[in-house]
Amino acid sequence: MNVLVIGSGGREHAVCYALSKSKRVNKLFCVPGNAGISEIATCKSMSVFDFDGIYEYVKEHNIDLVFVTPDDPLAKGMVDFLSERGVRAFGPKANAAKLESSKAFSKEFMVRHNIPTAASKIYNSAEAALDFLSSAQFPIVIKADGLALGKGVLICADLDEAKAAIGELMVNKAFGEAGNRVLIEEFLVGREVTVMAFCDGKHIKVMPSSQDHKRAFDGDKGLNTGGMGAFAPSPYFTDSHKVEFMDKIALPTVKGLIEDGIEFKGVIYFGLMMTKDGLKVIEYNARLGDPETEAVLPLLKTDLMDIVEACIDGNLDKLDIEWQDKVGFTVVIASGGYPSNVIKGYEISIEKLDNVILFHAGTAIKDGKLVTSGGRVFELSGVADDMESARGLVYGQIDKISFKDSRYRTDIGRV
Ligand code: AMP
Ligand code: GLY
C-alpha cells in the first residue's frame, strides 16, 4: 500500500517510523513532513489545510490511505473530505473530532453520559462569566471553548487573575473565535496521566499509559509548552486504575458516542487526573498526543497498518494488539527561547547515536545543511527494561545533538 501521513512534528515522525516498519506499506509519503521524516518518506511541502491539493497528490501518487494526525485538519473535516471522494482515511470525522475541538461539547457529552470530570459551567458572554466569578472559590480553571494551540487553559489563583483571563479570552480574543464561549471549572488536584486508545466506532483498545511534562523548565516551572518529554507506561497508573478507567471512562465514552450517533474512528486521547475521588477526565483529544506518541509507539509490536485498517473497517475486536513489556522514554530538545521567542535557522550537528531513535520535530534542510525550524526541534526516544535504564539511555546520548542555545529538561521521569 502507498500511505500518506499528514503533519510535521515528532509525533508524525514516530507514526512514519512505525509505518515504515510495516510489511504492508510500500511507499510512504508525508505532507509537509520535516528533515527527519524525509529520510523515510517522500515529503511534499503543502498546507495541511489545502484539502484539494492533498486530494490531487493522493491521486497522482496512487495513495491508498491517508493517516491524518494533527487536530486542526481533523476538526476542519479532512477525513470527511477524503472519505466523500473515496479515499480511505484514518482519523475521526469533524463531528467526532469535536470531542477535542469544542470543550463545551465534550463537557456536555461527559455530563450526559455520566463520565467523571471536573464540575464546570459554560458562559457565552464576559458579563455572565464575571458575574459568576465575583462569588467563586479559587483557584479556578478558565478554558476557551475552541482550539487554541494548547494555550487556552488558564489556571487562576484569585479574582484578579480570573478577570484578566476573561479579558484575554473573551474581550481581547487572544485566541479568536475559540474564546467566544468559555468554561469555568473546578480546579482538580492530583497527578496527570494520559491514556490513548484506538477506536473503530464500536470497540476500543487501550495503549500503554503515559505521562507528559508540559512546563518548560525543570521542577515543572515556567510556561506551559506543547510538552517537554514523556514516558510510558506511567508507574502511577496501577492495575486498579486500569479497571476503573475501562469501566467508568473508556467504555462509557464509546457507548455514549454510539448513543449520540457519532462514529469515532481513530485515536481517542484521554487526559486524566488521578484525584482522591477517583479518575476524572480533564480533556479528550481526537488524535495521538505529542510527545506521548514518541514514548508509546516505539513499544508497539503489532503492525500499525493492521491497527489502522481494523479501525477503519470496524473490526478492531478481532485484532490482538501487542506491546513490549518495557519502558518508552522521550526527551524534547527545544530551541532556546521556546515556548516564547524562538529563533530558527541554527545549524545542527549530530554525533553517532546508539540504540535510541531521534525523532525530528522542527528541522529543515537549508543549503544542504540540517537546521532548526521550530520550537521543539527533536524528541530523543529510547526503550529499555525499566525507567532508570530508559532514562540513562536517552540522557546518556542527548548531548550528541547540538545547536546554538539548545535546551532540554533534565528531570523527565523524575517528577
Ligand atoms: P487541557 O488543554 O484541557 O488539557 O488543559 C491543559 C492543562 O491544564 C492540563 O493538562 C492540566 O494540567 C490543566 N488543567 C486543565 N483543567 C484542569 C482542571 N479542571 N483542574 C486542574 N488542572 C487543569
Ligand atoms: N501532550 C499533550 C497533547 O498532545 O495534547
pLDDT digits (tens, 9 = 90+) for 186-218: 999 999 999 999 999 999 999 999 999 999 999
- Residue 296 CA from chain centroid, whole number: 12
Ligand 2 center from residue 135 Cα (angstroms): 32
Distances (CA, A) of 282 to 135, 162, 165, 171: 24, 19, 19, 25
C-beta neighbour count of 174 within 10 angstroms: 17
Close Cβ partners of 400 (under 8 Å, ≥ 6 residues apart):
350, 351, 352, 353
Q: Is the CB of 185 under 6 A from ligand 1?
A: yes
- So what's the pLDDT on residue 408? 98
Atom 4 in ligand 1: residue holding the nearest Cα: 283
DSSP summary character for residue 90: E
Distances (CA, A) of 1 to 23, 245, 314, 319: 9, 35, 19, 20
- So what's the pLDDT on residue 281? 98
**Closest ligand (CA of 286):** 2
Write out residues in the chain with pLDDT < 70, as ranges.
none
Amino acid letter for position 105: F
Atom number, ligand 2, closest to the C-alpha of residue 287:
4
Using one digit for the tens of pLDDT, what is the confidence trace for 387-411? 999 999 999 999 999 999 999 999 9
Backbone angles phi, psi at 266, to 5 degrees: 150, -145
Q: Is the CB of 283 under 6 A from ligand 1?
A: yes
DSSP summary character for residue 115: -
- Residue 245, H or E segment: helix 239-245
Please choose from 270, 290, 296, 330 the residue to mutate so as to test ligand 2's pocket, defined by most ligand atoms within 8 A of CB.
Answer: 290
- Residue 62 CA from chain centroid, whole number: 29
Ligand 1 center from residue 35 Cα (angstroms): 32
- Annotate 131-195 with DSSP letters as a single string: HHHTT--SSEEEEESS--TT--EEEESSHHHHHHHHIIIIIS-TTGGGGSSEEEEEPP-SEEEEE
Distance CA 370, CA 35 (A): 7
Model-level pTM?
A: 0.96
- So what's the pLDDT on residue 286? 98
Q: Is the CB of 140 under 6 A from ligand 1?
A: no
- So what's the pLDDT on residue 391? 98
**For residues 68 and 83, is the Cβ–Cβ distance under 8 A?**
no
